[in-house]
Amino acid sequence: MADSAGIQQGSPAIGAAGLVPAAPGAGGTEGSGAAGGSARIAVKKAQLRSSPRPKKLEKLGVYSSCKAEGACKCNGWKSQNPPPTPPRTDQQSNAVNLQEPCRSCSHTLGDHVTHLENVSEEEMNRLLGIVLDVEYLYTCVHKEEDADTKQVYFSLFKLLRKSILQMGKPMLEASESPPFEKPSIEQGVNNFVQYKFSHLPSKERQTIMELAKMFLNQINYWQLETPSQRRQRVPNDDAVGYKSNYTRWLCYCNVPQFCDSLPRYETTQIFGRTLLRSVFTVMRKQLLEQARQEKDKLPPEKRTLILTHFPKFLSMLEEEVYSHSSPIWSQDFLAAASGGQIPMHTVISAPPVPRPLYYSTSPVSLDPSICGSVSPARKTASVLEPNTNTVGEKRKPSDPLPHEENKRPRVVGDIPMDLINEVMATITDPAAIPETSLLSAHSARDEAARLEERRGVIEFHVIGNSLNQKPNKRILMWLVGLQNVFSHQLPRMPKEYITRLVFDPKHKTLSLIKDGRVIGGICFRMFPSQGFTEIVFCAVTSNEQVKGYGTHLMNHLKEYHIKHEILNFLTYADEYAIGYFKKQGFSKDIKVPKAKYVGYIKDYEGATLMGCELNPSIPYTEFSVIIKKQKEIIKKLIERKQAQIRKVYPGLSCFKEGVRQIPIESIPGIRETGWKPAGKGSHLHSIIDLLFPTDLKTMSERLKSRYYTTRKLFMADMQRIFTNCREYNPPESEYYKCANLLEKFFYTKIKEAGLIEK
């Protein structure tokens, strides 16, 4: 009873937030529930860890046994005046009184937290993280209907509760620790690729690797059936073995997604063929059925891969999974394989646990990893009333851009346009640019969404309420949808506050529409006279997250504001949102003068004001495509340059004849690299001339033309020379050694001049 009362003291906020555990029996959906829960818990942890120390002591006191004299048996302080359930958001939290008596044992709060007096902030924050995990598991225990799952939740709840009481680290007590079977699923799939496809040409083998990566990624986010569900579906199966693996999966893979005080492992790395056999048939069926249902939505370049190659890949793998004599499950496979193992990272590189996208103008909270991948905008015919704007129409190259005079002048050292055009002619065919898998670490965050927009799967509209025109039914329905999305994804924000801003005529919302319904949006208020826009709310509904919609929304918002000649965004972000905004181009360096925004936006305690200055010359919705083309151009230019200078000349024989030194220009091939005599100089000058003379000459001309407006810009160019020299030359070469020597000399002089700290 004491335990229960102690948990209730801290649990209302969890219940009020609307958190629910990921449904373990969903059987075939990615863990969006766990993703939503994990980010919300992360927000709560950040808020709690930023609280004053007395508030932290009060929270930990709820889970700390009484230390008063007389061997008190109370194991958690209970307030005389517990907060309302759910807590009112408009109430100010009362000051913490360490002398307040416990409702259970009558001893003070201070008697419960004496052991925390000398504990560091870092350790206290760690314990607070466990506290919120305990409260979430408490909610899971009471909401879970499946008996086996409920039992695991309760066991983990007690484990974390004990860790707080003993101030220890949670350690799962089990007869076995991960990995539970060798080889793992990941290793088995690697062996399968090696066993069946090692003879294929490089391009075809790369396709197989992509299929393998897709399959492993699906397993890592697959929701297992509960043991009771499996018994109904497969009555004669090994129920005991499956229940054991299910319990391990919950403890080591599933629950740690939202309770990060527990160690987390990837399913494919700690389980082997036994678990794979138990899920493969159902998983294969559902994956192929889903692919058939959504075939019209697949991009053309992926359709053949998923509809033709993937079923065949799964059929071949299925034979090896259920075969009793397959060599891929032997631990001696690699020693017996003739070609050796495929490097693991080329097949499996699972992304991090998906996190939800949501933030608001009040202290913003979200995980850095929330933005997935997205795509190029198509022209959309608007069928809405005048108070809506269709987003997606490109700025025509012939249209004058706002602030056209800001275009930079041509810089000394730029590559000649005739050479650029010559290289461009070799890559005019889009198919010539290497395709980047959406599962690749190198794919753009907005790649998938841009493709969906191009195919008409999603649309973007700027909408808002109006007091001057008759309300449009469709717009009102979308505004209601946006209010629901923001309310669900921002549980800490009062619903009335969200409703007031969404329907406020001064605010507009960039809405993301899919299949006729709202799945996300960004609410904002423009201040044209002040030259900036305030971002108020942004959210994507939980089952549509980790698809890159967040990045694509922001890119459309940037293009919309460039058309309206507002080139600055402002918003407030807490520590969990800063990483996300940095990826979208925001920084703490605010370009808007303080006098312009003070009094227009609210100042939030504990949050960081961030801003983003827009460049009117950048087509943001196509930016990642342009960067990809630029990278290909640079690659081609490097290849051409290397082809010119990689001629091998015979060695110098003059030194064998007693010659002690020779002019640099007499070295065969030195002039072909672009080197020119620089007159008299020291040995250091000779090294400089030998080391990429063209770049150093360019830097000299840029210095004379006052190109280097900051020290950082100058040092970046110099460092690029050193980096390129080591990148494109072997370590034993003279170029590589000269780069190291010159770099050391450069930084010595920089420090002597006081330009950087010694």
Show which residues are catalytic.
Answer: 534
Ligand-binding annotation for 576, yes or no, is yes
Residues 6 or more apart in contact with residue 253 via CB below 8 angstroms: 220, 264, 265, 266, 267, 270
Ligand-binding annotation for 667, yes or no, is no
The per-residue DSSP string of 666-706 comes to GSTTTGGGT-----S--HHHHHHHHS-HHHHHHHHHHHHTT
Ligand-binding annotation for 78, yes or no, is no
Tell me, rounded to whole angstroms, the distance of Cα 132 from its chain centroid: 23
Ligand-binding annotation for 736, yes or no, is no
**C-beta neighbour count of 371 within 10 angstroms:** 27
Ligand-binding annotation for 539, yes or no, is yes
Ligand-binding annotation for 579, yes or no, is yes
Name the nearest CA neighbour of 281 among 236, 307, 317: 317
Ligand-binding annotation for 549, yes or no, is yes
Ligand-binding annotation for 62, yes or no, is no
Determine the Cα–Cα distance for residues 662 and 688; give it in Å rounded to an integer. Answer: 17
Whether the bond into 82 is cis, omega within 30 of 0: no
Phi-psi region of 651 (alpha: psi -120 to 50; beta: other; left: phi over 0): beta
Ligand-binding annotation for 42, yes or no, is no
Q: Are strands 568-573 and 532-540 parallel, antiparallel or unpaired?
A: parallel
Q: Which two tokens stand for residue 484?
A: 């629901």
Torsion over CA: 7, 12, 16, 17 (sign): negative
Helices 417-424/623-645 angle, 10° precision: 100
What is each CA distance from 749 to 709, 712, 752, in whole angstroms?
20, 15, 5
What is each CA distance from 320 to 188, 209, 284, in whole angstroms?
9, 17, 14
Phi-psi region of 183 (alpha: psi -120 to 50; beta: other; left: phi over 0): beta
Residue 533: beta bridge partners?
526, 569
Ligand-binding annotation for 545, yes or no, is yes
Residue 525: beta bridge partners?
507, 534
Ligand-binding annotation for 674, yes or no, is no
Residues 6 or more apart in contact with residue 661 via CB below 8 angstroms: none
**C-beta neighbour count of 365 within 10 angstroms:** 24
Which residues carry a binding-site annotation?
Answer: 538-540, 545-551, 576-579
Which residues carry a binding-site annotation for acetyl-CoA?
Answer: 538-540, 545-551, 576-579
